[in-house]
Amino acid sequence: MSLEVRNLVKHFDGVRAVNGVSLTVQSGECVALIGPNGAGKSTSFACIAGQHALTGGEVWWNGTRIDRLSPEQRLRRGVARTFQVAQTFEALTVLQNVQLLLQYPRGLAAYNTLDGDQVEPALALLQQVGLGGLAQAVAQGLPYGAKKRLELAMALAGLRRAPTAVPLLSPEGGQLLLLDEPAAGLAASERAELMTLVKSLTQAHGPRAGMAVLYTEHNMDAVFGVADRVLVLIDGLIAAQGSPEAIAQDPVVRQRYLGHWWERSRDEARDA
């Protein structure tokens, strides 16, 4: 099972945001999409997830072309995403946010307060993303990093609506998770914990391959040491791709994007 993006093009009133991106992500693989601001990362995500119509190209998931499907239809086929700016239901509690996503497929009556719906599976998800102790907190008052964790839990809950759905957080095949800067707003230790969780979703359990994960990130410690492969997007095109080690040594990538970070990291390691 795999994601295949073929020559993706997206223009906005003459602005060429994405100029022909092609990439693949296999089930059981964690792939990072990096690049400077304005490179087209979030636009590419929005096209793959269904928020933007394509100007050109195709998006395929598990052998089915999905670029003409709505985000809801893609979700039903096992494709979920998070956003660069976390999207949560601010007036609900943390627990209710996840309960709502779990309950939605069966419908929700006007009088239903969610209090007794899907409590145990919702709590299990919150525990997994490190929010078990904040279940009764109102989402609006959460620190931004906690909102990112909550949004991840909501995306995983939404995947249960897919026909290929498997038990909560069981990282088995048929599911694609698109994460737009998942570690934004988190401290270094929190980033490490969250990305360990993200990585675990790709690990196989049983006969099926793990979940496919494609994510963007500006925090390089959430890329190197986490991603199986790294794709570098510059000026709307894939400028390089390969293992994290190969990308770190790529002269074009170091010159156009990683240079400052790479030199700083080397100096910090030398001074440690």
Enumerate the domain spans of the chain: 2-271
State residue 205's pLDDT score.
55
pLDDT value of position 166: 42
Half-sphere exposure of 34 (CA within 13 A, CB side): 26
Collapsing DSSP states into helix, strand and coil, what is residue 7?
strand
Give me the CATH code for the 2-271 domain, please.
Answer: 3.40.50.300
Beta bridge partners of 58: 6
Which position has the higher pLDDT, 26 or 169? 26
Determine the pLDDT at residue 256. 84
Distance between CA atoms of residues 36 and 97, nearest Å: 32
- What's the pTM? 0.86
* The predicted structure's pLDDT at residue 113: 62
Q: Which two tokens stand for residue 209?
A: 């391959």
Which among 104, 81, 97 is positioned nearest to 161, based on CA atoms?
104
Contact present, 141 and 85 (Cβ < 8 Å)? no
The 10 Å CB-count burial string (b at 16+, else e) for 103-136 is: beeeeeeeeeebeebbeebbbbbbebbbbeebbe
Span 49-58, average pLDDT: 96
Q: Is 13 helix (H, G, I), strand (E, B) or coil?
A: coil
Asked if 113 and 98 touch (Cβ cutoff 8 Å), the reply is no
